[in-house]
Amino acid sequence: MFSTAIGLSRQVVKYTMSNTMKQAIKPTACLMPLKAKTGRMFIHQRHLPKLPVPPLQQTLYRYLLSVKPLLSDFDFDTTKKLVDDFGRPGGIGEKLQMGLIERSKKLDNWLSQWWLDHAYLNFREPVIINSSPAVIFPQQSYTDLDGQLKFAASVVAGILDFKVMVDNQSLPVDKLGGSPLCMYQYYKILSSCRIPGSRKDSIVTHPADGPDPPKHIVVAHNYKFFSLEVYKDGWTPLTRSEIYQQLCDIVNRSQETSAPVGILTAENRNTWGKIYNQMNKDRTNRAIFSEIQRSIFVLCLDEKISSLPKEEFDNEVGRQLLHGGGSELNSGNRWADKTLQFIVGPNGACGLQYEHAPAEGPPIATLLDHTLTYCDNVCEDVAPVDNQLTPAKRLKFNLTPDVKESIENAKISIDSMIEDLELQIFKFKLFGKDFVKANKLSPDGFIQVALQLAYFKIYGESCATYESASLRRYQLGRTDTIRSCSTDSDLFLRAMADSDKSNSELVRLMRQAVESHKEYTNMAVFGDGIDRHLLGLKLMAIELGWNVPDLMMDTAYNISTHFKLSTSQVPAKTDSTLTFGPVVPDGFGVCYNPKSKHINFAVSAFNSSPSTSSMTLSLKLTESLAEMQNILVRGSMSAKL
């Protein structure tokens, strides 16, 4: 199966391990004790398989296949030699592979803690734009402050309603292609927070079955923070009317803006880590940090939004959710370390921002679907009540001149980051996933091939492309990468640029490209992806104190992991759109929610890159999807003749 034109063959290798290697594999990386969870939500948990370590030769072979469309023949030959050397019997690849296999025997998941550290906690760029996605809710019908607060009260009640299912472990188990998925991410999204460090961050979670579970949320308004108890008489949640009453009180008590302390959380992580450690020496500040970190989530009641023409509304809401719109707008009305921030702004603009370290988009989308459905279905009026509720507690930081200066610096940083981001939120209305399914193709593969085509139309070449693939079929699974640029996609793109190609040839090549993408997807979701495996081999070398293998220092490795297209599908039942920033300076971030009859897209790029424009990619993507539809329609018409 693996011997081909590239000239590699799968080998059966016996591994033996040295004592140094045995010592290097520390059994420290269990993210959470699996034994404690027994409710319906975790019914499959103990039966989920452990993430496998793919065979070394399989990964090396597939790696070569994936870099082929990105390299010249000369560079490819160089890379092939490095791959051969890395994979030779008794070579460094086999030794590292052995280390990974040993690690996988000791841990529930050999990858998860490494991935958490590598992708998130060691990441030092600001989480805003670079790491934290936002979800744009469908525009709501409220138009004034009263409507905004009533909707916010419903959102809070809806999340608390969802929380009951997490707390009593009764949430229905997620499935992908019929297989049950790991549900632990749900356990980490509420009452959790990232904590900045001067070199590495950490995460805290305060679950309902832990000691002293939190009963409050934090509300941000006019850059002021309030701690609001959302349960009374033990664990009875406040009614929507009671929450509304409390929010009215908070708004009345925060008519003036304060120093935007929250803007510090949008800083570079080392910078914020140092400021945090300094502020944390003060007892009042320490108590406030703890109150925010322990809170179930943060609710941001936004004040201002730029007035824009209707057609710019979605883009503006996307910006508000992703970064707050700047230091003069809502960027200070956030606590970017918090795992979940629900943002309710004026004019029906709302959504959420989430800190990515504890979870991927799909669990967040499930929470959001539940919350919005709850908001739509509650019928009793939200009305003022005269209940004697304990007023929310104002969280007032002690700010030294140093911290005030840091806030001024943070304002400058975030404003320049924001200035640099270009975002396009749009609905592709010609068709949705029903049309693609009716043509017996995978909608996800079809969209990915259209993205390849859009990129090719602009640049005349393919680029390394990342699509998230869920590894939640495995215990504590996170993601691997689907490398969407393939030899088959490249063939299709080149055929599209060739006016001599017949429609039937285009149909054939398109189907081949989409099917090839589906094959890669299946491979990735079944734990046979290549990116996390190669990363694991590299991290194993580092953990052993060895040099990073030449294979991972090679140009091909850099090119094939310089993901100019960073993409993800986050399906939601509601008509929402998730959005995030590009992962490289000259790249795009593309997220989509395929609905039956339309597809929601968010495309981001950096203005500082002269070569990228999210507007251009969006136009080319729209064009590409339409052209691919035409090819299929023409193909099926001629088949009928």
Indicate the residue type of 351.
G
Q: Is residue 468 involved in binding ligand COA (CB under 6 A)?
A: yes
What's the min distance (Å) between Cβ of 558 and ligand COA?
A: 23
Known active-site residue 118: no
Q: Is residue 570 involved in binding ligand COA (CB under 6 A)?
A: yes
Q: Is residue 441 involved in binding ligand COA (CB under 6 A)?
A: yes
What's the min distance (Å) between Cβ of 616 and ligand COA?
A: 25
Q: Is residue 333 involved in binding ligand COA (CB under 6 A)?
A: no
Residue 464 in tokens: 């390394």
Q: SS3 of 332, please?
A: coil
d(CA 113, CA 31) in angstroms, rounded, equals 7
**What is the footprint of ligand COA within residues 517-536 (CB under 6 A)?**
521, 525
Q: How many residues sit in the footprint of ligand COA (CB under 6 A)?
A: 21
Nearer to ligand COA, 86 or 474 (CB): 474
Nearer to ligand COA, 355 or 444 (CB): 444
d(CA 462, CA 70) in angstroms, rounded, equals 7
Q: Is residue 362 involved in binding ligand COA (CB under 6 A)?
A: yes
Point out which span in 106-114, 253-261, 462-470, 491-499 binds ligand COA (CB under 6 A).
462-470
Q: Is residue 69 involved in binding ligand COA (CB under 6 A)?
A: no
Q: SS3 of 475, please?
A: coil
Q: Is residue 444 involved in binding ligand COA (CB under 6 A)?
A: yes
Place of tokens 């994979």: 87
d(CA 32, CA 383) in angstroms, rounded, equals 42
Considering only 345, 351, 443, 582, the residue that binds ligand COA (CB under 6 A) is: 443
Considering only 40, 118, 437, 562, the residue that binds ligand COA (CB under 6 A) is: 437
What's the min distance (Å) between Cβ of 112 and ligand COA?
A: 14
Point out which span in 199-207, 324-332, 489-497, 568-576 binds ligand COA (CB under 6 A).
568-576
Considering only 569, 593, 604, 618, the residue that binds ligand COA (CB under 6 A) is: 569
Q: Is residue 470 involved in binding ligand COA (CB under 6 A)?
A: yes
Residue 395 β-bridge partners? 225
Point out which span in 83-91, 154-162, 280-288, 432-440 binds ligand COA (CB under 6 A).
432-440
d(CA 294, CA 214) in angstroms, rounded, equals 6
- 637 CA to centre of own chain: 40
User: Residues 216, 221, 323, 356: which is the catalytic one?
Assistant: 356
β-bridge pairing 577-579 and 134-136: antiparallel
d(CA 433, CA 439) in angstroms, rounded, equals 10
Q: How far is CA 465 from CA 75, 226, 526, 586, in A?
A: 19, 42, 19, 13
Nearer to ligand COA, 326 or 443 (CB): 443
- 266 CA to centre of own chain: 17
Q: x/- string (CB under 6 A) for ligand COA, residues 161-200? A: ---------------x------------------------
Nearer to ligand COA, 57 or 489 (CB): 489
Considering only 131, 479, 600, 618, the residue that binds ligand COA (CB under 6 A) is: 479
Residue 35 in tokens: 């034994």
Residue 85 in tokens: 């050397």
- Is 336:128 a contact under the CB 8 Å cutoff? yes
Q: How far is CA 285 from CA 109, 323, 400, in A?
A: 37, 24, 11
In three-state form (DSSP H/G/I as H, E/B as E, the rest C), the secondary structure along 9-65 is: CCCCCCCCCCHHHHHHCCCCCCCCCCCCCCCHHHCCHHHCCCCCCCCHHHHHHHHHH
Q: Is residue 469 involved in binding ligand COA (CB under 6 A)?
A: yes
DSSP 187: G
Nearer to ligand COA, 66 or 295 (CB): 66
Q: Is residue 360 involved in binding ligand COA (CB under 6 A)?
A: yes
d(CA 298, CA 434) in angstroms, rounded, equals 37
Residues that bind ligand COA (CB under 6 A): 176, 360-362, 433, 437, 440-445, 468-470, 479, 521, 525, 568-570
Active centre residues (catalytic): 356
